[in-house]
Amino acid sequence: MKIRWYGQSAFLLDAEHRVAIDPFADMSELAASRGLVFDYPPIEHLEADLLLVTHEHGDHNGVEVVEAPTVIRSTAGTLESPIGDVVAIASEHDDVAGTQRGPNTIFRFELGGLGVCHFGDFGQGKLRRSQQEAIGEIDVLFLPVGSGPTVGGEPAAAIVRALRPRLVVPMHYRTEAVNFLDPPDEFLDALGAPVERLAESTFDAGPLLGTRERPAVALPAPPRPS
């Protein structure tokens, strides 16, 4: 399975099908209006078999930039899709039952022979047992680690220890392109797992897989303007 990181929480997963998750368009105007920096290159003209949107914030719901016949957007349930069933698990974007930042969806699905889970902007203080049971066994975990509006540090590391994936791909953290999140260092220190710092923003998941007892962490290079 090939993975391309577009920045923030946006990914394209490419195996026997192409799955796009949490895309964004041009964020410059929205970021400037809030006094923020968001300099990831806008995503344009992306084609996928399935588009997943975890929640309705502008840096996650740019559906107009992706051409996909099937869209699963900000919902919960077990849903049919071109890649088989997608389990959409209800969660919150904050630790006060969603009353500050609203709902968030955790997506769990199979692709390329791997169990994949994308946590969107998960902001709960910890993972509930019912959520963990709904996720089940996974191989690749996309997890926000930048604190602030999501988990980070030790709470994020605790999620990894609970789910026991083979590969963790941190997301939604501070880079040179964004100024309103924390860097991944606190999370990496808390987890203590081997880290592969990649030279590109596109990579193959297979060679990076660790074990459930000792997962690997992949930090792809932030995308840059072409």
* C-alpha dihedral sign at 190, 36, 73, 94: positive
CB atoms within 10 A of CB 22: 26
- Which CATH superfamily, name and number, covers 2-219? Ribonuclease Z/Hydroxyacylglutathione hydrolase-like (3.60.15.10)
Domain residue limits, the chain: 2-219
* C-alpha dihedral sign at 44, 47, 53, 56: positive
Determine the 3-state secondary structure of 178 from DSSP: strand
Give the tens place of pLDDT for each residue, 151-203: 999 999 999 999 999 999 999 999 999 999 999 999 999 999 999 999 999 99
Give the tens place of pLDDT for each residue, 199-222: 999 999 999 999 999 999 999 999
DSSP state of 63: G
How high is the mean pLDDT of the chain? Answer: 96
CB atoms within 10 A of CB 98: 17
Q: What is the pTM of this model?
A: 0.97
Q: Is 54 within 8 Å of 144 (Cβ atoms)? A: no
Mean pLDDT of 35-63: 95
Q: Is 148 within 8 Å of 121 (Cβ atoms)? A: no
